[in-house]
Structure 1
Amino acid sequence: MSVEFNVEDGVAIITLNRPEARNAIDRETSLGVEAAVKRINENPEIRCAVITGAGSNFCAGMDLKAFLRGEVVRLPGTGLAGITQAELNKPFIAAVEGYALAGGFEIMLACDMVVASSGAKFGLSEVKRGLVANAGGLVRLPRQMPIKLASEFVLTGEMFPAQRLAEAGLVNRIVAEGEALAEAVKLAQLIAANGPMAVAVSRRVLRESLEWPEAEMFDRQLEITAPIFASEDAREGAAAFAEKRKPVWKGR
């Protein structure tokens, strides 16, 4: 099975499971991730998701052997690996060990947060193969780091260590080798414990407001966030704080 899927305590874990190929993306893997994303989107019990790779690597990108065989690994509507252009309704965290290259890097860029091991290596290596990083690298990277740094990553195709990405704001946490998944799950559990409506709306504003004119920011934000303050979850959160207990969220 090229993709494994597990859910525990509101956190889903998608594992790319082709360690013999550094978890490179073939068509079967793309279809498996696409199916997993659909399950995450549709299941209200899932509050957060982690995507990682089996073995000692995250993902080496598109499987070039599959590409030469004519396999279509970029799916209609959801993109490379069934995720780079997918609608992600829940927060996603990438847990990166080893290589996150080319399409693997672009999977990471599609996520909300990144936990990486100290030995992880990242790169958009497409230009070294006469290809281009059009599964998110060219359009997401300059939105997530300064354009001059993005230009270096894209145009050189070189690999960079986790510390360099952390300094550029692309990695949230660096941990010891072998600990990326455990740390990503801890981070996911922190998110999963919060009010699901509040998380969803906050995430929406964080993403959409980047394109809003400054003069309209607060009006647009109010329109989206005002219903949260009138929700049952808002009252439950306040009551739980007053009663010194864990809240029981209803998502309404």
Structure 2
Amino acid sequence: MDLKFIKYEKRNHIAYITFNRPERMNALHPPCHLEMDSVWDDFVADKSAWVAIVTGAGDKGFSAGNDLRWTAENSGQLLTGTIGLKGGFAGITARYDIYKPIIAAVNGFALGGGFEIALACDIIIAAEHARFGLPEPRVGLMAAAGGVHRLPRQIPLKIAMGMMLTGKHITAADALRYGIANEVVPLKDLMATAEKWAGEIMECSPLSVQATKEAAMSGLGMPVEAALAKRYDLMSKLFRSKDAIEGPLAFSQKRKPNWTGE
């Protein structure tokens, strides 16, 4: 895979995805979106990749979102970067078929589209100096890549509205207090902490984890009764898997299970 603006590598069942434009605070422009779309396709297709960790290069920005400088230099092409792409902004904000867990390791500013990327992930680990916000109204835009919908669903409505209508930033400590971040750590510990979370996830069956995420996410907009009724297809597939045999067997033999994802 020929990537210029994204670093992508896989080790020990973890896919590491790094926005690599530190000179632009890892802001994204159309070629970035195109690369990210292909990266997510690869992650979904690779059965040996069980968890993804998304971060930004450097120590200042996770992602400053849309590259406004590029937008200014290419008038009239604001939206062309995501048109026709499966996943929207960064290939992820409008993609709903990724049931493998995604961890955002937020190493600095996560603003606008950068915050929307983090909100689209399952777990957020933040460096102590990280800041979050949807400042689009301050530049005549709106957080249209899911931010205006995800944020009010993930934190109290009045806090979300206050953030969105003023464009103000919040600190990593605030993000933890409001329930956006799962953990806040010193920058030097950020990736190790994200890998710790990935390791704890991978102590579970990857198929069970994926079924759990799919059931949870698909059921969010349903009454509980309807969500419960839909789970049977997932259960049927999961319970026929090799991992469903391995789990109880390992428990009875008092050993760690050998998950295969099959």
After TM superposition, the score normalised by the length of structure 2 is 0.90
**1:68 counterpart (59, 65, 72):** 72
Task: Indicate the SS of the match to 2:43.
Answer: helix
Deviation at 1:22, TM superposition (A): 0.5
Corresponding residue of 1:225: 235
2:48 corresponding residue in structure 1: 45
Q: Is 1:133 the equivalent of 2:133?
A: no
Runs of 4+ in 1 over 4 A off after TM superposition: none
Q: 1:143: Cα distance to partner? A: 1.5
Whole-angstrom distance in 1 between the partners of 2:172 and 2:153: 19
For the aligned residue pairs, the C-alpha RMSD in angstroms reads 1.6
1:184: which partner in 2?
194
- Runs of 5+ unmatched residues, structure 1: none
Distance 1:103 1:157 in 2: 13
1:48 Cα deviation after fit: 0.5
Q: CA deviation at 1:179?
A: 2.2
Q: Which residue pairs with 1:119 in the alignment?
A: 129
Structure-1 residue corresponding to 2:14: 11
SS of 1:149's partner is: helix
Q: Give the aligned partner of residue 31 of structure 1.
A: 34
Compared CA separation, residues 219 and 89, structure 1 to 2 (3 A): closer
1:93 corresponds in structure 2 to 103
Per the alignment, in what secondary structure is the counterpart of residue 98 of structure 2? Answer: coil
Tell me the matched-pair count. 252
Stretches of structure 2 that go unaligned for 5 or more consecutive residues are none
Cα distance between partner residues in 1 of 2:142 and 2:37: 22
Show the counterpart of 2:171.
161
In the TM superposition, what is the alpha-carbon distance from 1:62 to its structure 2 partner? Answer: 0.5
Q: 1:115 touches 1:172 (CA, 8 Å); kept in 2?
A: yes
Give 1:231 shift: 3.0
Q: Distance in 1 between matches of 2:260 and 2:130?
A: 39
Q: TM-score, normalised by structure 1?
A: 0.94
Deviation per CA, 1:177-199: give whole Å up to 9, x if none.
Answer: 23222211221122233212111
Q: Does 1:58 align with 2:62?
A: yes
**In the alignment, residue 128 of structure 1 is paired with which amino acid?**
R
- Over 3 Å counting, the alpha-carbon distance change for 1:186 and 1:101 in structure 2 is same
Cα deviation 1:92-149 (Å, max 9, x = unaligned): 1100011000010000011011000111111101011010000111111111112111
- Separation of aligned partners in 1, 2:207 and 2:258: 13
Match of 1:84 in 2: 93
Tell me how far 1:222 sits from its aligned partner.
Answer: 3.9
Is 1:143 the equivalent of 2:147?
no
Aligned to 1:105: 115
SS in 2 for 1:155: helix
Secondary structure (helix, strand or coil) at the match of 2:7 reads strand
